[in-house]
Structure formats: structure tokens, C-alpha cells
């Protein structure tokens, strides 16, 4: 009888072990099917924002729009000091030094070869101005903006992002 009890215990273990294996296999198959559904059959998630680019642009401030459109700034190239006679009835001399902020694609060392173009544009424009253009901060800012526009045109909207005035003396 003791032998019969031992055999029943072993049989029960086999049956319960087989039941555990079946449950593990069912859970594994369900997990596999869930993964297949998730990655293959399910629809892609909706984008976080359903706004169109035009609607997003309408919500932005002008400063935010400008920041997105401006290319990142690269190296800065110093130009030589220029001494110019300003336009006007009185003889007024301008000593000015400019620096050019280049885009990230332009290498400053290579740009040095094209610097005479910038000097020509600067001399031509600055010598046409009167002393009153340089007396106020707003006037100087306007000069920088206009000179930037002229240089961008001269370089076909490449290389120069903006102009800095690093030295200015009028006499």
C-alpha cells in the first residue's frame, strides 16, 4: 500500500506539473499575440497635437517665428579699421571697425579671401551717410541693419548673418 500511495503522489505531481506547464504556455502565447497586435496590427498613435503648421504659426509671437527662421550664428570676422569722410556740408571723419557674424557653414579663414567685397560695400554705403546717422543709438542700429542687408545682397544671402560695430569715433 505504501507503494501505491507513492505512485499516486508521483502521478498527482505529474498532473499538477503538466497543468502548470499548460498555464505558462497559454500565458506565453497570449503575451506573444498581444505583442503582435501592438506592433503589427494596431493603428499608430495619434500625434500629440492635431494643429496644422499654419495654426501653430498663428499662435507664435513674431520673436518666436524669427528665432525659428534665423540660421545659427558661426564665427565672427573682424574687418580692418576704416577712416572715412562722411557726406554733408561740414567735414566729418568717421573711424569705424566692423565685425561680420558668419553662418555656421562659412569658415572664417576661407572668408578672409572674400573680405574685400565687404569692405567695398561698407565704404560705399558708410561714406554716403551724414554724421547725424551715427549720433543716436537708433541711427547706429539702422546703419547696422542696412549694411547687413547690403552685404547679404552682395554675398547672395550667404555667409553674412549680421554686422557688428566694434569701434566708432567721429571727428
Which among 66, 101, 122 is the end of a domain?
Answer: 66
- CA neighbor of 132 nearest in space, from 83, 169, 88, 85: 88
User: Any idea which of 13-17, 93-97, 114-118, 165-169 has the lowest mean pLDDT?
Assistant: 13-17
- Note the pLDDT tens digit of each residue in 38-83: 777 766 665 556 777 777 778 888 877 777 777 788 999 999 999 9
- Regarding whether 125 and 60 lie in a shared domain, the answer is no
Domain identity same for 38 and 89? no
Position 48 scores a pLDDT of: 57
Verify that 98 and 119 share a domain, yes or no: yes
Cα separation, 158 vs 102, whole angstroms: 9
Sign of CA dihedral 153, 155, 159, 162: negative
In this structure, the answer to whether residues 109 and 26 fall within a common structural domain is no
Look up the pTM and report it: 0.60
> 115-126 and 137-154 are packed helices; what angle lies between their axes, rounded to 10 degrees?
140
Last residue of a domain, one of 24, 46, 66: 66
Number of domains composing the chain: 2
Q: Are residues 108 and 159 in the same domain?
A: yes
Whether the per-residue pLDDT at 22 is higher than 80: the answer is yes
Amino acid at each position: 500500500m505504501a507503494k501505491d500511495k507513492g505512485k499516486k503522489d508521483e502521478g498527482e505531481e505529474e498532473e499538477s506539473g503538466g497543468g502548470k506547464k499548460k498555464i505558462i504556455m497559454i500565458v506565453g502565447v497570449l503575451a506573444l499575440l498581444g505583442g503582435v497586435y501592438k506592433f503589427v496590427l494596431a493603428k499608430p498613435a495619434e500625434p500629440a497635437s492635431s494643429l496644422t503648421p499654419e495654426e501653430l504659426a498663428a499662435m507664435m509671437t513674431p520673436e518666436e517665428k524669427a528665432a525659428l527662421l534665423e540660421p545659427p550664428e558661426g564665427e565672427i570676422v573682424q574687418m580692418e579699421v576704416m577712416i572715412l569722410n562722411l557726406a554733408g556740408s561740414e567735414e566729418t571723419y568717421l573711424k569705424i571697425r566692423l565685425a561680420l557674424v558668419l553662418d555656421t557653414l562659412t569658415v572664417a579663414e576661407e572668408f578672409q579671401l572674400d573680405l574685400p567685397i565687404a569692405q567695398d560695400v561698407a565704404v560705399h554705403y558708410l561714406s554716403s551717410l551724414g554724421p547725424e546717422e551715427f549720433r543716436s543709438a537708433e541711427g547706429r542700429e539702422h546703419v547696422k541693419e542696412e549694411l547687413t542687408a547690403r552685404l547679404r545682397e552682395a554675398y547672395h544671402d550667404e555667409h553674412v548673418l549680421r554686422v557688428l560695430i566694434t569701434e566708432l569715433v567721429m571727428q
